[in-house]
Amino acid sequence: MAEAMLNDPLVLVAFDGWNDACSVASRVITHLGAHLGADAFGILPADDYTDYQQSRPNLVRTPAGELLNWPQVTVSVAPGRERDLVLISGPEPNLHWPRFAAVVCEFIINLDPQLVVLLGAMLSDVPHTRPVPLVSSFSDQELADRFILERNDYEGPIGMTGLVTRGLISSDIPTISIWAGVPHYTASQPNAKAELAVLSKLEDILRTDLELGSLPDDAEAWEHSVDELMASDESARAYLDSLEQQFDAEGGLGASGDSLAAEFQRYFRRRNSS
C-alpha cells in the first residue's frame, strides 16, 4: 500500500458481521465516507485470510456493466483542516485471525494516529423507545474522563474489533471502542437511531459537527415503524413494557460495569446459539 503524508490522523474502524448488529458500525463508516468526500487510500490484503466459499464475491450490475466486489478491508481518507480522518472497514476474516489482527494493527500504528476509534454494535435486551446505550473500552483513564466513557468489564468471546482494540492498546496507541446496543427484536433491519447515536458520540470525540444527512428523519421514521409493529401485538407490547421498566430501573444500560458485562454476555450467547 502506498505511503502518504497524513495530517494528525484520527482513525475509525469497523468490521461487519459478528461485531456489527444491524450493520450499525459499517453504515456509520459508509455515511462518513460519503458525506466527507473520502478518497480511496488502499486495500488491506485479503486472500490469505478469506475462505471464498464462506465469503463469496458479489456480482453487481450497473449502467456501465457488471462489477465484481470481492470481500476486502478498504481504507479511505477524508482530508480535514485540523486532522485527516482515516476510515477502515470490511468483513471479519475467515482465517488466520492473529496474523490478520497484527496486520491491521501494524498498518494503523504506521499511520501514527492521534486516536483510534473502533465501532461495533450488539443485539441487546433494550427497548427501542429509550436512548441508544453506548458502551466503551479505552486505553487510558484520561480518554475516559475526556469523553465521558465507562469501562466495560466484559469477559467472553470477542471478534476482530476486540482483537484489534487490544492489540492497539498493548502498543500504547490511544484507543477507544464504542458499541451501540440495539434491540434484539429489530435485528432484521438497519437501525438509523443507533447510527445517529454513534455519530453523535463521534461528534463529541472529534469536537466538530458532522453532516447527518437524512439520519435524524430516518431515526424518527424507524422508531415510529417499530412503535406500530409492537402496538399491533399484545404480547409484544407487554414485552416492551417490561423492557422499559427494567431499563428505567437500571438508570439506562451502562449504569454500572456489571450491567455492561451482563449485556455483552447475553449478546454473545445469543450470537453463538443462532
Domain contains 178:
yes
List pLDDT tens digits, range 201-247. 999 998 889 999 999 999 999 999 999 999 999 999 999 999 999 99
Q: What is the mean pLDDT of the chain?
A: 89
Distances in Å between the Cα of 49 and the Cα atoms of 54, 76, 156, 196 are 12, 21, 23, 32
- Say if residue 2's pLDDT is above 50: no
d(CA 32, CA 63): 25
Collapse the DSSP code of 19 into the 3-class scheme (helix H, G, I; strand E, B; otherwise coil) and give the result. coil
pLDDT value, residue 256: 42
250 vs 59, more confident: 59
From the list 180, 7, 160, the residue with the least C-alpha distance to 93 is: 160
d(CA 239, CA 178): 27
Domain contains 160:
yes
Share of the chain above pLDDT 70, in %: 89
From the list 155, 150, 145, 118, the residue with the least C-alpha distance to 134 is: 150
- Say if residue 192's pLDDT is above 70: yes
User: How many domains are there within the chain?
Assistant: 1
Domain contains 251:
yes
Domain containing residue 24: CATH number: 3.40.50.10900
Domain contains 120:
yes
pLDDT value, residue 14: 98
Query: How buried is 107 (Cβ within 10 angstroms: 0-12 exposed, 13-18 middle, 19+ buried)?
Result: middle
161 vs 150, more confident: 161
pLDDT value, residue 257: 44
pLDDT mean over 167-196: 95
Domain contains 1:
no
83 vs 262, more confident: 83
Lowest mean pLDDT among 14-28, 62-76, 93-107, 250-264: 250-264
Domain contains 2:
no
pLDDT value, residue 82: 83
12 vs 62, more confident: 12
Domain contains 246:
yes
> Where in the sequence is the domain holding 110, given as residue range(s)?
10-273
pLDDT mean over 35-52: 92
Domain contains 96:
yes
pLDDT value, residue 99: 96
The one-letter code for the residue type at 19 is: N
Residue corresponding to grid cell 454476555: 265
d(CA 273, CA 244): 25
Map 69-98 to HEC letters.
ECCCEEEEEECCCCCCEEEEEEECCCCCHH
